[in-house]
Amino acid sequence: MAKVVYKFGDDISTDAIYPGRYMATVLPTETPQFCFADYAELNKNLNSGEWKNSVLIADNNFGCGSSREQAASTILGHGLIVIAKNFARIFLQNSINLGLNLITCPDLDAKVGDDVVVENNKVVNKTTGKSFNIVPLPEARRAIVEAGGLIPYTRKKLIDKNKK
């Protein structure tokens, strides 16, 4: 179970997630400090470590804008779960490639402070008792996320192939 710690509306851009002025910093070990840098309170709480493994929720088109993969890596670095009504296409693919598990839940009804859990292809809001269907990733994409990203997935495939 995880707590919803922040709620966004529509059209949260990759520049809001990882501002362009930090593009000189691209190492996944360094990018998390700039996660939502222009949201001072959110950034402060994320960097305190208190919100590790917490949930951010959003409405439509989360991750729109540029194709910078740092937007996904900065969220991954905080161990956050993002549940949104839908995601921008490139952000979704970058997230899959990095192993960031995003949950698409078009009918989600939750607010900051609610406890949620993902089980049986549903997001269950334990605070309200309501559950909402998720749009599952196709099997191939899910396998990449479960492996920890495209590089670990490919490495495992190559190792398994060489064992034969």
Per-residue pLDDT tens digits for 48-72: 998 988 999 999 999 999 888 999 9
User: Domain extents for the chain?
Assistant: 2-163
Q: How far is CA 59 from CA 24, 29, 36, in A?
A: 30, 28, 17
Q: Which CATH class is domain 2-163?
A: alpha beta
pLDDT averaged per 10 residues in sequence order, the chain, 164 residues: 96 96 86 95 94 94 93 94 97 96 96 95 96 96 95 91 78
pTM listed for this prediction: 0.92
> Residues of the chain with pLDDT > 90: what percent?
83
Per-residue pLDDT tens digits for 83-106: 999 999 999 999 999 999 899 999
Q: Which residues contact 13 (CB under 8 A, 6 or more apart)?
A: 63, 64, 65, 66
Per-residue pLDDT, 27 = 83
SS3 assignment, position 32: helix
